[in-house]
């Protein structure tokens, strides 16, 4: 049996960690207090077995005391040790690896043996100082030891199969992986380390590129603010000189300048956030690679290598060119011309001047999505022929639903309104299907809900604007006047509303944004989105 090294610790019980009381050494060579080992065996006897709590050797019958391993002066040594206090026990806390050999309250493990497939505290690690355990490989304590054991043969994973790209035990090489290309984990790691470093270099390069773009964007935004501020100050000075004639126009120009600034800043902030998120993700992945590169555990490295080497795929971000000075130079020029031609300015010219500083209209889907709003359908307005699902975001016609009576419910036309009011600049997308087609539109909340007349039918009165979509035709209707739309919509229709400017636009959304219909009016109240299945 293995010999335990001679040290002050040999006078401590391997169970209670205190000085030995009535020391007994069992046949495997480990020494315990008589009370401690008897209590352990008493618990073991419930299962009809006896084992050593340190090396877990199992005995067919209750083992006897090895007198040769229990010298007569053992008790004398204990007495001479006297009242010396044993070192305070270091119990395993949250996040620590527990000693596999401790009985009762577990101590903190300090080493892991890859041969024993166990982790040991300082006391139970003494056994590995003997010659019998000289070939055991001890490493710094690791968590998840069971993950290093073959689930088929209960052996240590010590071989890497290049064919199947997985870690295996030596018994696997004669079974499922018999003719496969296998190497030791260290060699496999060295080969994959090259790929890992390549991925890390790529990530670092991507970080530098994104940081550069982030810096340039922030710089442009700062210039934009300064330019906007200067434009406001210039217009303030000029308008003060012609205060009696154009006082009311003054505040309007200021607001329009601010709108241009906010529109450009809103687009830039969206891109800023995406850049920051991507940089944070790249930093996180880089940190994980750094941590994995430093691990001593080859198996852990190989098991976590693959996910970290998958290239980070990022969607190309839209490019927003910010030219702060160009945003406001034309405004200054118009205002100066107004001062020089004060007596000759007419209403149409002033309107043209104001149109110069209107907010930039979105062009790409990414730009439209910066105005995206989340809409839900109101069950209280849904006609009985319409079924709502998916958190009231999906409507299907042709049903007979049992809705309770409600004053806002459409009782004749199969229509439903949104819960949310629409004002300012809003964008939303609608996916539709069906041979009969659907109406996608907006309406004032005051539209009639009862009866089968035009006053409650979307697109047939002055309170609603409707786009009809079907597989074969498309048309726009308002106040019962129908306008054919050239081109057919895709299964996804985008709706953009600029409430203040009175603009309502419909787009066919696919790889590109195709304008179906655009109209301009003067909206006097907040609008509601609606869905109409009456033409099915």
CA–CA separation, 488 vs 96, rounded Å? 65
Determine the 3-state secondary structure of 409 from DSSP.
Answer: coil
Indicate the pTM of the whole model.
0.39
Average confidence (pLDDT) over 361-379 = 89
pLDDT at 379 exceeding the cut of 50: yes
Per-residue pLDDT of 227-269, as tens digits, reads 888 888 887 887 777 777 667 777 777 887 888 788 878 888 8
Query: How high is the mean pLDDT of the chain?
Result: 80
Average confidence (pLDDT) over 293-303 = 85
What are the structure tokens assigned to 191, written together?
């080969």
pLDDT for residue 102:
87
**H or E element, residue 497:** strand 492-498
391: left (phi over 0), alpha (psi -120 to 50) or beta: left
What are the structure tokens assigned to 270, written together?
């969206």
User: Measuring CA to CA, which residue among 302, 103, 271, 102 is closest to residue 190?
Assistant: 302
Cα torsion for 164, 166, 172, 175, to the nearest 10°? -20
pLDDT at 428 exceeding the cut of 80: yes
What are the structure tokens assigned to 450, written together?
């009862």
CA–CA separation, 338 vs 238, rounded Å? 9
pLDDT for residue 532:
66
From residue 96, give the alpha-carbon distance in Å to each of 67, 116, 449, 471. Answer: 38, 19, 66, 64
pLDDT at 432 exceeding the cut of 70: yes
**Do 418 and 529 contact (CB within 8 A), yes or no?**
yes
pLDDT for residue 184:
92
Confidence of residue 182 (pLDDT cuts 50, 70, 90): very high
pLDDT at 519 exceeding the cut of 70: yes
Q: Percent of the chain at pLDDT above 70?
A: 82
Q: Which residue has the tokens 């001479």?
A: 80
Q: Which residue has the tokens 């906007």?
A: 228
pLDDT for residue 105:
84
pLDDT at 164 exceeding the cut of 70: yes
- Range with the poorest average pLDDT among 9-13, 291-295, 526-530: 9-13
Contacts of 239 (CB under 8 A, 6+ apart): 246, 247, 249, 250, 253, 335
Q: Cα–Cα–Cα angle for 298, 303, 305, nearest 5°?
A: 90
Question: 26 or 7: which carries more pLDDT confidence?
Answer: 26
Determine the 3-state secondary structure of 251 from DSSP.
Answer: helix
pLDDT at 454 exceeding the cut of 60: yes
Q: Residue length, the chain?
A: 536
pLDDT for residue 114:
77
189-195 long-range contacts, Cβ below 8 Å, gap at least 24? 189/298, 189/301, 189/302, 189/305, 192/302, 192/305, 192/309, 193/293, 195/309
pLDDT at 276 exceeding the cut of 60: yes
Instruction: For residue 419, count CB atoms less than 10 angstroms from its CB and return exposed for 0-12, middle for 13-18, buried for 19 or more.
Output: middle
The strand pairing partners of 515, in sequence order, are 507
pLDDT at 354 exceeding the cut of 90: no
DSSP state of 108: B
Question: 102 or 356: which carries more pLDDT confidence?
Answer: 102
Q: Which residue has the tokens 């000759």?
A: 344
Per-residue pLDDT of 307-325, as tens digits, reads 777 666 555 555 555 566 5
**Do 59 and 51 contact (CB within 8 A), yes or no?**
yes
Question: 314 or 462: which carries more pLDDT confidence?
Answer: 462
Average confidence (pLDDT) over 415-422 = 90
Question: 170 or 354: which carries more pLDDT confidence?
Answer: 170
HSE, side-chain direction, 13 A CA sphere, residue 77: 15
Question: What backbone phi and psi angles, to 5 degrees, belong to 19?
Answer: -60, 140
Q: What share of the chain is helix, strand, coil (3-state, %, to 5)?
A: 35, 20, 40
- Range with the poorest average pLDDT among 143-157, 300-314, 450-464, 483-497: 300-314
Average confidence (pLDDT) over 462-486 = 92
CA–CA separation, 28 vs 47, rounded Å? 21
């Amino acid at each position: 049996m293995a010999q335990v090294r001679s040290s002050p610790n040999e006078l401590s019980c391997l169970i209670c960690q205190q000085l030995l009381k009535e020391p007994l050494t069992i046949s495997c060579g480990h020494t315990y207090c008589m009370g401690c080992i008897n209590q352990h065996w008493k618990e073991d006897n419930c299962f009809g077995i006896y084992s050593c709590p340190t090396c877990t050797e199992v005995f067919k019958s209750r083992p006897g005391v090895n007198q040769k391993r229990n010298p007569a002066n053992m008790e004398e040594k204990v007495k001479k040790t006297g009242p010396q206090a044993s070192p305070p026990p270091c119990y395993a806390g949250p996040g620590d690896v527990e000693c596999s050999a401790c009985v009762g309250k577990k101590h903190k493990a300090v080493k892991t043996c890859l041969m024993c497939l166990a982790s040991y505290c300082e006391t139970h690690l003494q056994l590995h100082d003997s010659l019998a355990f000289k070939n055991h490989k001890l490493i710094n304590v690791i968590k998840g030891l069971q993950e290093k054991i073959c689930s088929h043969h209960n052996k240590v994973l010590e071989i890497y199969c290049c064919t199947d790209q997985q870690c295996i035990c030596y018994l696997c090489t004669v079974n499922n992986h018999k003719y496969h290309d296998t190497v030791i984990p260290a060699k496999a790691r060295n080969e994959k380390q090259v790929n890992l470093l390549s991925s890390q270099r790529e990530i670092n390069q991507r970080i530098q590129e994104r940081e550069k773009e982030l810096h340039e964007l922030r710089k442009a935004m700062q210039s934009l603010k300064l330019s906007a501020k200067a434009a406001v100050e210039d217009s303030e000075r000029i308008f003060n000189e012609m205060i009696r004639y154009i006082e009311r126009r003054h505040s309007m120009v200021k607001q329009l300048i601010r709108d241009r600034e906010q529109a450009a800043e809103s687009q830039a902030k969206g891109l800023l956030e995406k850049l920051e998120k991507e940089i944070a993700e790249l930093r996180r992945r880089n940190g994980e690679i750094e941590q994995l590169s430093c691990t001593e555990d080859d198996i852990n490295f190989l098991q976590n290598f693959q996910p970290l080497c998958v290239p980070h795929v990022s969607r190309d971000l839209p490019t927003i060119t910010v030219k702060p000075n160009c945003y406001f130079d034309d405004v200054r020029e118009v205002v100066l011309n107004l001062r020089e031609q004060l007596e000759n300015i007419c209403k149409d010219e002033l309107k043209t001047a104001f149109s110069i500083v209107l907010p930039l209209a979105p062009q790409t889907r990414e730009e439209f999505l910066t105005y995206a709003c989340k809409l839900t359908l109101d069950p209280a307005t849904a006609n009985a022929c319409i079924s709502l699902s998916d958190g009231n975001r999906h409507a299907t016609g042709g049903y007979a639903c049992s809705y309770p009576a409600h004053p806002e419910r459409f009782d004749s036309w199969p229509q439903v309104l949104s819960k949310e009011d629409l004002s300012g600049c809003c964008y939303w997308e609608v996916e539709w299907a069906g041979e009969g087609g659907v109406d996608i539109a907006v309406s004032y909340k005051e539209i009639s809900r009862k009866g089968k007349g035009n006053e409650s039918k979307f697109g047939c009165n002055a309170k609603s604007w409707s786009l009809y979509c079907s597989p074969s035709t498309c048309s726009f209707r308002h106040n019962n006047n129908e306008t054919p739309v050239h081109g057919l919509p895709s299964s996804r229709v985008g709706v953009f509303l600029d409430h203040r400017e009175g603009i309502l636009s419909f787009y066919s959304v696919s790889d590109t944004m195709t304008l179906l219909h655009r109209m301009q009016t003067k909206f006097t109240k907040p609008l509601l989105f609606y869905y109409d299945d009456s033409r099915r």
